[in-house]
Copies of this chain bind each other. A is one copy, B any other.
Amino acid sequence: MPTPPDISDSEWSVMEALWERAPQTASEITKTLRPVTKWAENTVRTLLTRLVEKGALKTAENDSGTRTYAPAVKREACVRAEGESFMQRIFGGAAKPLLVHFAQNSKLTAEEVKELKKLLDQSLNK
């Protein structure tokens, strides 16, 4: 499994579409994203090409001879990489200040708080 490459903002949207459902063709992805992004199909194609170059996607031909795209890296791995880099950048790599920050700046329901506390406990004896 390759190290997750750097994935830019726009590229991330494309990845999300493919993590949701794969494989897809360029025009399918464009249609999927259109409501949100309003991108021209060529824009999506450019992003797809770049993501293939970066090794984040792989391609294949489907039965009708059209190229399809699918993730070559797991979402979870990319999220971890992005999270690491964010934590590094902003919190000097320390998890606690990060968690403190988001715990304080988020409005959570009692339910969510309960879940999170349970997770925290579990994170200990693991």
Q: Which residues of A contact B (CB under 8 A)?
A: 9, 12, 79-80, 82-83, 86-87, 89-90, 95-96, 98-108, 110, 112-113, 115-117, 119-121, 123-124
Contacts and interface: CB of A to CB of B under 8 A. Distances in A.
Given A103-B123, A123-B108, A116 B96 contact: yes
Contacts of A82: 86, 89-90
B116 A100 contact: yes
Contact of A103 (B87, B104, B108, B116): B116
B117 A104 contact: no
Interface of A is mostly: helix
A95 B106 contact: yes
Q: How many copies does the complex hold?
A: 2
Contacts of A95: 102, 105-108
A109 to B, nearest CB: 8
B9 A89 contact: yes
A79 B101 contact: yes
A105 to B, nearest CB: 6
A119 B104 CA distance: 7
Given A79-B90, A96-B108, 19 more contacts: A12-B89, A79-B101, A82-B86, A82-B89, A83-B101, A86-B86, A87-B102, A95-B105, A95-B108, A96-B116, A102-B102, A103-B119, A103-B120, A104-B119, A106-B123, A107-B123, A113-B121, A117-B117, A117-B120
